[in-house]
Amino acid sequence: MTTAPVRQGFLMPIGGAENKVRDRTVLRRFVELCGGDAANILIVPTASRRAETGPQYEDVFRDLGAKEARSLPIETRADCRIREHVDSIGVATGVFLTGGNQLRLSTTLGGTPFAEALIEGNREGVHVGGTSAGAAILSDHMIAFGDEGSTPSGHMVTLAPGLGLTHRYIIDQHFRQRDRLGRLVAALSYNPANVGIGLDEDTAAIIDPRGRIEVSGSGGLTVVDPREVEFSSMDSSEPSRPVCVTGVRLHILIHGGTFDIETRRAEPRQLTEKET
């Protein structure tokens, strides 16, 4: 007897400051991904200390047509062991992690029954989105904090364990707005095994179970591909000195563009007949 393959859910990291008022392209796409008018979305506002964060996303997702949107009051590690919170992932079609402080998010969720249920839920088809801090924690290696600037340097970035929903990408957010190219390249210089994603604000990477990305939103997505790195001076660099890295490939994609991690090929959005 053969078992049907499990359908893994999508990931949707967002670069922060997504539009919540006007066209709401990015959040609308998350609702569509989660089932549209059948969507049942759980909101995890743990990274934020603002009491209104969870209810705000409840209102936005319901206004965009979701059948159900509910914020979970997870503030402590003890909250992550409450059976009702853990079991709620089993009936959700999507889970959304809000912005705030990614270390608050990782130190609260990491290694708890709730985090384990979230990881298992994604394997079984629950889509997981996150904005800003909620985007950074989706990867195996999370950028905890770091310095601004376009040139990498030693000790420019600090990494911490994330949720590990993707082992193939390292995600950074508020990318162009906060000049974070240097810290993403620095993160990849430690071990060029992952691909870096730099997300501008109001911009999302829709990552399918194969690891293929489609871009949605009003900004750009920077792909930093270190597979062909020839040299890095990270191992011998002093903390404040610039790091030399050669052989890095970089792509800038906008709405509708794609990146295939298997072929390492980036493609612009294909124009329709009306647009040509």
Q: What pLDDT score does 2 carry?
A: 44
CATH number of the domain bearing residue 77: 3.40.50.880
Does any domain span residue 244? no
- Report whether pLDDT(253) > 50: yes
In a domain, 16, yes or no: yes
- State what percent of residues in the chain have pLDDT above 70: 96
Residue 40 located in a structural domain: yes
219 vs 203: CA distance, rounded Å = 5
User: Does the active-site annotation cover 174?
Assistant: yes
Residue 210 lies in a domain: yes
Indicate whether 3 belongs to any domain.
no
Over residues 188-223, the pLDDT tens digits come to 999 999 999 999 999 999 999 999 999 999 999 999
Name the active-site residue from 48, 85, 174, 214.
174
Burial of 176 from C-beta contacts in 10 A (0-12 / 13-18 / 19+): middle
Q: How far is CA 29 from CA 19, 130, 178, 214, 255, in A?
A: 12, 13, 25, 11, 12
Tell me whether residue 265 is in a domain: no
201 in active site: yes
Question: 26 is written with which tokens?
Answer: 């990015």
- Per-residue pLDDT tens over the stretch 120-178: 999 999 999 999 999 999 999 999 999 999 999 999 999 999 999 999 999 999 999 99
The mean pLDDT value for 1-8 works out to 58
Does 269 reside within a domain? no
pLDDT score, position 3: 46
Domain count, the chain: 1
Residue 203 CB: number of other CB atoms within 10 A?
29
Residue 91 lies in domain = 11-151+158-168+198-219
Q: 64 Cβ partners below 8 Å, 6+ apart?
A: 24, 27, 28, 31
Residue 32 lies in a domain: yes
The single residue of 201, 216, 232, 237 carrying the catalytic annotation is 201
User: Which pTM was predicted?
Assistant: 0.96
- Higher-confidence residue: 42 or 238? 42
Instruction: Compute the distance between CA of residue 245 and CA of residue 230 in angstroms, rounded to an integer.
Output: 8
pLDDT at 276 over 70: no
Placement of tokens 């049942």 in the chain:
40
Q: Choosing from 48, 71, 132, 139, which is the catalytic residue?
A: 132
